[in-house]
Chains A and B, each alone.
Chain A
């Protein structure tokens, strides 16, 4: 009886562990996107090219006058990696603090999103994977356009 209960608990615990282990389970959409984008290096490329697009985008380039672009690119790449569960820790400011005083509105936010999406398109990232990252970025509209 007791052994039975212990065995049951052990099976339940193992099952739970298996369900939460990335090794024993099909990749999540985030993990698939992370891989499809070329891992950390690939995301860094997306961040870099996306930021270049922003700086060439007449709609919003003026918002980044005086910004430390190389640092911004690094932070963005790390943030994308963290958002896709790629094992990175984003150490930058939160989104509201990071964009405070820039007076970004929804059109600016959407322009940013478009520029990064265009970077993913140019780097050959399939649409379904692009959307996984964009879905992580979309809710940032509120904090980014707060001021």
Chain B
């Protein structure tokens, strides 16, 4: 609850900073100087990326001389569950990204079948930090060198008693990742590859570790996107998942998405996601809709 309040306060602060004209913004160095569609959108953990994958780019439209930031709301109605994510992220001088995301994973009518009660919800907070090591997604068009960042995400899920009953070893966990992104602007193609060290079950919503495995495993996130216009991007993503729990398996996540950047303050991402089996329920396919407001 405290986390949710903190998150709401951060969102309010960010909106307050974004709403006035740039010159009067609380972030006096905000200039929205970066080009359209070079920052990605907010992913399911609140980091700059696609829908389900994490990218190397620092979120927002800030340059190396300025600050960018955004808030987002994401709705993912699946066959048996629905996830509602809200979060805030700031990009500092195109070097550091700080993010917070709150996921409410609602079991809907399925909750009763699982013995949890109808509309039983699992809550998760994700605090993320990402640091760009080298490379520039846009300017480095005369080299094959990608933009590379490293990041960590501290994830905290409530409903500890339930998570332990499901076999998870912990309700908190830290993911570490290294992400490489390359824009082949001449070809209008964006490629991303991320390696993540994680114990998270379904990104942590079902806790961390389990009877099958309680150590870190290396997972892969990949995405491929095509820049249809300067404002419209279509792509596909793939993300592997550890399968630590005993009572259910976990499948790799897949998505195909389209993102439309109305302007530097508003973007909309829609996707079709296939998250496989979640908590014994197969074929968790569904939609994904995310609105991002920022600068």
A107 to B186, CA, bound (A): 21
Is the C-beta of A100 less than 8 angstroms from some C-beta in chain B? no
Interface class of chain B by DSSP: loop
Asked if B63 and A107 sit within 8 Å, CB to CB, the answer is yes
A141 to B186, CA, bound (A): 16
> What is the interface residue range for chain B against chain A?
20 to 34
Name the contact of A131 in the complex, choosing from B63, B65, B136, B185 (C-beta under 8 A).
B185
Which residue of chain A has the shortest Cβ distance to B189 in the bound complex?
A131
Which residue of chain B has the shortest Cβ distance to A108 in the bound complex?
B33
Name the contact of B185 in the complex, choosing from A107, A108, A138 (C-beta under 8 A).
A138
Known: A106-B33, A113-B35. A127 touches B141 (CB 8 A): no
Q: Can you list the 10 inter-chain pairs with the closest CB atoms, starting with the nearest? A: A107-B33, A135-B186, A135-B185, A106-B63, A139-B142, A141-B139, A138-B141, A135-B141, A107-B31, A127-B229
Interface class of chain A by DSSP: helix
Asked if A127 and B228 sit within 8 Å, CB to CB, the answer is yes
> What is the interface residue range for chain A against chain B?
20 to 34
Shortest C-beta distance, B149 to chain A (Å), equals 18
Contacts of A131 in B (CB 8 A): 185-188, 227
Which residue of chain B has the shortest Cβ distance to A140 in the bound complex?
B139
Shortest C-beta distance, B50 to chain A (Å), equals 19
Interface string of B184-205 (1 = CB under 8 A from A): 0111100000000000000000
Is the C-beta of A13 less than 8 angstroms from some C-beta in chain B? no
Contacts of B34 in A (CB 8 A): 106-107, 110
